[in-house]
Structure 1
Amino acid sequence: MAEISAALVRELREKSGAGMMDCKKALTETNGNVEEAIDWLRKKGLAAAAKKAGRVAAEGLVGVATNGTKGAIVEINAETDFVARNEQFQAMVRNITEIALKGTDSVDALKTAQYDNANTVEGEITRLIATIGENMNLRRTQSLSVSQGVISSYIHNATAPGLGKIGVLVALESAAPADKLNELGKKIAMHIAAANPLALTVEEVDPTALERERTVLIEQARATGRPEEIIQKMVEGRVRKFYEEVVLLEQTFVLDGQSRVSDVVDQASKELGSPIKLAGYVKYTLGEGIEKEESDFAAEVAAQASGTR
């Protein structure tokens, strides 16, 4: 059986919101698997429903750039938030995002793209590492495009124009005026930043995630002691509720708190006199899914002090 360390219990507690003893029991029951332990807690009604995105554990910047029917988003990490406020670093992230906008839709392709007359993108990152003295990493990039319409963007709590910790791109296909589409696209991008959808449509929901959710819901429903046919109806109702929580087009639009996102798009189509299709989106949250080594600052200071005696 895996050793259940205090750090593992703390991680589960932070992700689930459950009590310490419940977390320890859940980890014991699941042999130290945190994700299975979250499901175990949920089945017992001890944890909040919802998968939480990975904690932001890396610094740097997310950059977005758009040009009419094209858009690109890039994440470049650094060791400290101090670097994210450095004008040289900001300029580099902005420039690399503009390079990505030209059509380099993979990290490898972007790294080998020409940055300036002297360096490739990878070479420029290496140069700045030497200049600033912190490790940096081009972590990911993605682009969106439409044949007709716009790619809109939004940066939440922008550090500088087009740069911040949360970036969103939204693709709208339509013959409607670009300025009106951009207004709609920015609102939807703001919604995405707040609501964190997992898929654009019901059909695009990850089957593994859906099956995992259904398993938890069945266990919760059976705990009520009701007949099997009632349980099935309860589960189907809760699955529909799950879709409303995680599917972009099914979510309640955060800007009015009433309409579904799909209804907002339909209403805009009527007002602008042209069909509008929400064709895609991308959301990057800085550092999501990266584990950051925790340090005990007081212990470090004490160790350094003892070493100087």
Structure 2
Amino acid sequence: MAFFKNAKQPLGIFLYNIRLSTCSRHGYSTWATKGTSFAQSTDTKASKTAYLYWVSRRFNSQAASSAEQMSLIKQLRERTSAPIKDVKASLVDCNWDIEAAQKELRKRGKVLAMKKSSRTATEGLLALAQNEGKAAVIELNCETDFVARNEIFEYLALALAKKALFVQNSSQQIPGVFSFGPECLEDLKLNLDHPKISGETTIQNAVTEVAAMMGENIKLRRGVVMSTSSHGVVSAYLHRCPRPGLGRIAGILSLEVENEISQLDALQKVGSELAMHIVAAKPLFLTKEGVTSDVLNNEREILKSQAISTGKSLMAIEKMVDGRLRKYFEEVVFMEQKYFLNDSLSIKTILDNVSKEVGSPVKIGNFFRMEVGEGIQSQEASRSAEPVAQAV
């Protein structure tokens, strides 16, 4: 009951009373001894006033100091996006000097980023950049979809895609399309203009710095650049797109026209529809002639073994294999597929229709489909690069 009465008193008086009661138990009370009246010494009132003043001043000083520290933590967190525990630790180590703490945090983060670089990163984003007659897609990986949704991660991915537009195809293995690894971009200069990451740096350093901020393994995995002739267009579609230019699945193709045309809008519209079809239907080859002999022989063997298990005659088995092989072509060959939004239309029919509309023959030059994280697990197991589905 006494506790609740004291709870209604100001903090200083409450602490003072506790101090007096504690002292009296140890024989230091200023009260009269047992058997005399309860009279205080003449300086008790002055002592009480001085003590209350000391408690109040100390409490206010500590409150102000804590408020300043919280403000510094908040400022450094906003500057770097680093975890709060790391922000506070850096400020404490640097005696609450925010500039020194920021430098220390970047050094510490880069060391941690290097330690985490061996961890598997299967999440992330595809970023697309386009200019007249050319498109580039890069894949930037991280460990969790939480980081993939971070604005700094998104900003970096878009900046890398814009830089990839200037990658030159030195090998010329496939005219019009160039697949490349991170080594083609890592040493290039990048000008960043973001509140939390800015200035000129190399792409490799930019990736490492963002990895330090996010606390995860982040890596630039691969990219593709596609171009077309002056008479054609490059069209793209991104699936699961959090914002323009970003997504998790990409379909891109080039449409080539024999003669110069004026109806580029019609061509671009068909190109966008076919790019969406690539994402949905997952073609692996442009034409039947493009299917490699190894793939064809392997598929024929599988279909033949399935047909033999039915117990039918050899002639019937051959017919079954041929029929199923046609079905296989319709599944994996772009030009043999049905349009995914209208199966009464084939891809050939769509191209014929647009050719009539623009007044010149239209054909698909190149295409590819890319998905975030595809093949990473098998790559970790075999240490071999995964193929990108594309026209040859």
Would the TM-score normalized by the shorter structure come out above 0.5?
yes
Counterpart-to-counterpart distance in 2, 1:286 and 1:126: 20
The superposition leaves residues 26-80 of structure 1 with CA deviations (integer Å, 9 ceiling, x where unpaired) of xxxxxxxxxxxxxxxxxxxxxxxxxxxxxxx811001112212111111110010
Q: Deviations over 1:228-258 (max 9, x none)?
A: 1221122112111110110011100012121
Q: Give the superposition deviation at 1:110.
A: 1.7
Q: Taking structure 1 as the reference length, what is the TM-score of the superposition?
A: 0.73
Q: Which of 144, 152, 161 is matched with 1:80 structurally? A: 144
* Deviation of 1:111 (Å): 1.8
Report matched runs for 1:86-105 at 5 Å: 86-104=150-168, 105=178
The corresponding residue for 1:69 is: 133
For structure 1, which runs of at least 5 residues remain unmatched after alignment?
1-56, 293-309
> Post-superposition shift, 1:115?
1.3
Counterpart of 1:111 in structure 2 is 186
Aligned to 1:191: 277
What is the aligned partner in structure 2 of residue 134 from structure 1?
216
Q: How many residues align?
A: 236
Give the conservation status (yes or no) of the 8 Å contact 1:172–1:277.
Answer: yes
Q: Corresponding residue for 2:309?
A: 223
Q: Percent identity?
A: 41
What whole-Å deviation, never above 9, does each CA across 1:107-149 have from its counterpart, x for those lacking one?
2112222212631211110111112211111111011111121
Residue 347 of structure 2 corresponds to: 261
1:120 pairs with 2:231? no
Pair 1:166-2:249 in alignment: yes
1:151, distance to aligned residue in structure 2 (A):
0.6
1:159 partner amino acid:
P
Q: Matches of 1:90 and 1:222 in 2, distance apart?
A: 53
**Which 5+ residue runs of structure 2 have no aligned equivalent?**
1-120, 169-177, 192-198, 379-392
RMSD: 1.6
Q: Counterpart amino acid of 1:120?
A: T
Comparing 214-223 and 113-122, the one that deviates more = 113-122
Counterpart of 1:15 in structure 2 is none
Is 1:280 aligned to 2:366, yes or no?
A: yes
Q: Is the 8 A contact 1:214 1:235 kept in 2?
A: yes
Q: Residue 249 of structure 1: SS of its match in structure 2? A: helix
